[in-house]
Chain A
Amino acid sequence: MLGQKQAGDYMIGLTYSYPHRFWTVTGTTAEQVTVQDADSVHLMASVWDPETMTVLPIESGVSITVAADGETTADKQPWPMVSQNMGFHYGDNYQLNGEGVYEITVRVDGMTERRLGGFADRFGDAGEMTTNFEFSRSARDNIPFTEYPDRQGGRAALDLMNMELMPTSRVPAPDDLPGELLGTGKGSDEVYAATWLSEAEFLGSGQSYLAVSVRTPYNRIPLPMMTLDGTVDIGGETVYDDSLSAAVHPDIGYHYGAMVEATGDPTVAVETIGPSQVSRHEGYETAFLGTPTVDF
C-alpha cells in the first residue's frame, strides 16, 4: 500500500507490485501485454465510496502521473483490470528512472454511469490525490510471488486478498440483492444474477427496475464494461427491449440496468453483445470472453 486518501467523493487507494504481464481485451479477443525491460513497477489504483465501501468502476477512467524532482516521469491512463486476488482496479506497468522518491498523483474523473439511490447525487466530479513513493528494487523484489502449477487450467480462483483498510470489489451474493431475485445464470464462466425492483426511492409510480449483476463465479468480482441488451415481457407483452446501462447502487453494486415503464411479474432475456472489455491479470486471460444469452 502506497497511500490511501479521500479525493472529493472518492476514496483512492494506491498499491504496487513487480511488473506483471496482462491481457487487454478488444471485442472477444484478449491480447497479451508483455513486460518491457524498462518497466519498473505495476501500479494499481482502487477507487471506492468511503461510506458504503463499494468499489467503483468508472468508465471515464483514472490517470496516474509519476513525477520526481518536479519532472514528470510517466503519465498515463492505466487499464481497467480484474485480477483474481485484487478484484477490479486500474493498473499498468510504469517505467521509473531508477530508485528514489517519486510523487504519484491519481486523478479520477466524474462518473458518467447511472447512479441510483444513495449514489444519485454523488461521484459527479473529479477527485485527485497525491502520495509519495520510495522505489527500491530490493523492496519490490521481496513482494511475495506464488505460482500455482498444480491448479493451472482448473476452474477456480485465488482468494481475494484481504487488504488492510481497502475494501475488496465484491458484489452481493444473489440472495442478498434487493428486490425480487429473478434467478442466476451461467455465462462463459461468469455468473449473471437478475433482480427486479418494484419499490425503490428512485422509482416513480408504474415503474420497475431491472438490475443484472454479472460477476466472477468464485469471488463475486463485478465485470464492468460489458454491452448487454435486455428484453422484459410482462403478461405476454414486451415492455422493454433495449440496451442495459451501466449503473451503481449502494445495495446492488455495479450492474447493468433498465428503468421499465411497467409493473408485474417479468420474464427477462439478457443478451451479451460484447463481453467485459476490462484487461485481465494472469488466470483470467481466457475467461469471461463469451457472448451468452441468459433467460430469467
Chain B
Amino acid sequence: MSDRGISRRDFAKSAVAIGGASALAACLDRFGSPDVPGGTDPATLPARQHAWDQGLPTDDAGNHRLGRHHVLLLLDYERDGTPTDGDRQQVTDALRSLERAYAWQADGLQFTLGYSPAYFERFGSEPAGVDLPQPSALAPFEDPEFDSPDAILHLASDHEQVVLAAEEALKGSRDSVNDVEMAAAFDGVFAQQDRRTGFVGAGLPAENQDVDGIPDSEPVPEDAPLFMGFKSGFDANQASEDRVTVESGPFAGGTTQHLSRIRLQLQQWYEQDSQEQRVSKMFCPAHAEEDRVEGVGENLGTDSGVGDCGGDVVEQSRRDGVAGHAQKAARARDDGDTPIILRRDFDSTDGGEAAVHFLSLQRAIDDFVATKSMMNGTDVADESAVGQRVNNGILQYMRVERRGNYLLPPRDLRALPPADPS
C-alpha cells in the first residue's frame, strides 16, 4: 500500500488492533481489496504448520522477513471433556478453506493453531513425546501472569485486510474470503478468551509510536522494523525450522511455541541513552566501540556479528560495565553451535501500550528456557558491575507481563488433537 499520509497513519493504528467486521469494512472501504494470491489444495502444503520460511520474502541481505501484520487469538474449547469428531472436522474444514483462499506466503496468509498444557489436561496425560510444561516465571525479577487458553491461533499476512478477513471468517461473520467460500467456521467450537495484535517491518513501528511507553518526541526511526530501533532475527542468529521441529513420536513434524507479552518503556532508551549506549546494550560494547552498526543495522547482513563481540560475556562485562542483549542470548546454542529458538516476534500497540509479543518456536520449551536464562544475564550481574537490569542488555526497558506455552502439532493433527494420537 503506497498511501502513507497522516490520515492513513491514524487509521492504521487502529485497524488490526481494533479488529472486527467494522474495522475490516472500513479498511476495505478506504484501501480496497489488495490483490492477494489465491491458495492451493491443502494436501500439497507442508506437513509442518510452522513451515513458513519458503513463503517468506527475503530482504536485501537474504534474511527471511515475516508477514507485516499479526493477530493472535487465545481460544477456549467450548465443550467439556474430550473433543468430538464433529468438532475436529469443523476446525479442519475452516482452516482448509483459508488455505484454499490464500497462498501460504507472507503476501497471502500464514497461520498456526496450537494447544496449551491446559488443553491436554482433559486427556489425563501430557502430549506424547513433547516437552510442554505449564508456563512459569523465567527470571528472579519477573512476576508474569500465565495464559491458559486451550488453543492459540496465530494469523500473519503482509495485508491488514487479509488477517482481519481471515479472523472474521473463522468467527463465522464472513461466508467467503478471497472469493473462496468458507466450508465451516470456529463458532460453537472455540470461544475467544483474548485477542492480541501486532506488526513487524520497516515503517510500521514509526507509524504506530503514539502509545504509552514511547515518548512524545517520536523517536522511533522511520525505517526501524521494531520499536527499539534495530533489526533482529538475523538468519544466522535464528534456529532453522528443522532445528525447532519435533523429531519423533506422534507429534513429529510439530514444534512448541512460547508466547510472552512484554511491556516496553522506551523513554530512557531514546531520550537518555546515546546511540552508542543503545548499540552496546542491544548488541555488545565491541559493536559500539568499533562503530559496527549503522542505523537500524541493515549493514550487518545476515548475522548480528556477535561472534566479534569478544570472548566470555561475563569476563567482557566485568571490564565494560555493559552486557549486550544479542551477546548474552547467543550463548544459548546446541552442540552444533547453532541457535535453538526461532523468533517470530512482533510489536504491539494493544491497549495503547508499546509491547512485544515475543513468540518463539523451539523443539522443546526447555530450549526457550535455556535461551531466556542466558538473556537474563543473572551470571553477568552476579559477577560484575553490571546490574540485574541496569546496563544488562535491554532488561531495564522491558517487563514480562504474561507467558504461555503451546504445542503446534503437525498440520494433520492441528484440529483438536488427542494427547497421544499414535
Contacts and interface: CB of A to CB of B under 8 A. Distances in A.
A110 interface: yes
Nearest to B289: A27
Contacts of A227: 318-319, 321, 383-385
A6 B154 CA distance: 45
B319 A27 contact: yes
Contact of A274 (B268, B273, B319, B390): B319
A277 B381 contact: no
Contacts of B396: 61, 76-77
A80 interface: yes
B389 A61 contact: yes
Given A95-B215, A110-B140, A273 B318 contact: yes
A243 interface: yes
A92 B318 contact: no
Interface string B381-398: 111111111110000110
B215 A60 contact: no
A77 B267 CA distance: 11
Contact of A112 (B140, B265, B390): B140
A74 interface: yes
B259 interface: no
A31 interface: yes
A230 B264 CA distance: 39
B381 A59 contact: yes
B387 A59 contact: yes
B388 A59 contact: yes
B354 to A, nearest CB: 11
Interface residues of A, number: 36
A28 B140 CA distance: 28
Interface in A36-84: 36, 38, 59-61, 63, 72, 74-77, 79-80
B320 A112 contact: no
A274 B385 contact: yes
B141 A109 contact: yes
Interface string B131-153: 00000000011010000000000
B319 A80 contact: no
A59 B381 CA distance: 8
A59 B213 CA distance: 23
B324 to A, nearest CB: 11
A276 interface: yes
Contacts of A25: 321
Contact of A24 (B140, B141, B273): B273
Contacts of A210: none
Contacts of A95: 215, 267
B385 A275 contact: yes
A225 interface: yes
Given A36-B217, A112-B381, A60 B321 contact: no
Contacts of A136: none
B209 interface: no
A125 B265 CA distance: 24
A80 B267 contact: no
A274 B384 contact: yes
B272 interface: yes
Contacts of B382: 112, 245
Interface string A99-126: 0000000000110100000000000001
B85 interface: no
B248 to A, nearest CB: 40
B267 A74 contact: yes
Contacts of B265: 75-77
B232 to A, nearest CB: 21
A2 interface: no
A27 B320 contact: yes
Contact of A27 (B140, B213, B267, B285): B285
A226 interface: yes
A38 B216 CA distance: 8
B366 interface: no
A38 B215 contact: yes
A277 B212 contact: no
Interface in B226-267: 263, 265, 267
A157 to B, nearest CB: 22
B268 A26 contact: no
A33 interface: yes
A112 B272 CA distance: 27
A25 B321 CA distance: 8
Contacts of B277: 24, 26, 31
Given A61-B389, A225-B387, A274-B319, A26 B267 contact: no
Contact of B271 (A36, A112, A126, A245): A36
A245 B379 CA distance: 12
A102 to B, nearest CB: 15
A109 B318 CA distance: 23
B390 A77 contact: yes
Contacts of B216: 38
A223 to B, nearest CB: 10
A284 B272 CA distance: 18
Contacts of B143: 126
Contacts of A277: 321, 385-387, 390-391
Contacts of A76: 265, 267-268, 396-397
Counting chain B CB atoms within 10 Å of each CB, the highest count among A60, A77, A109, A227 belongs to A77
B327 interface: no
A126 B142 CA distance: 11
B197 interface: no
B193 interface: no
Contacts of A59: 381, 387-388
Given A28-B321, A38-B215, A38-B217, 9 more contacts: A26-B322, A60-B388, A61-B390, A63-B399, A75-B213, A80-B387, A92-B268, A243-B318, A277-B321
6 contacts: A31-B274, A61-B389, A61-B390, A76-B265, A76-B396, A273-B384
Interface of A: 24-28, 31, 33, 36, 38, 59-61, 63, 72, 74-77, 79-80, 92, 95, 109-110, 112, 126, 225-227, 243, 245, 273-277
Closest 4 CB pairs of A and B: A274-B385, A27-B321, A227-B385, A60-B388
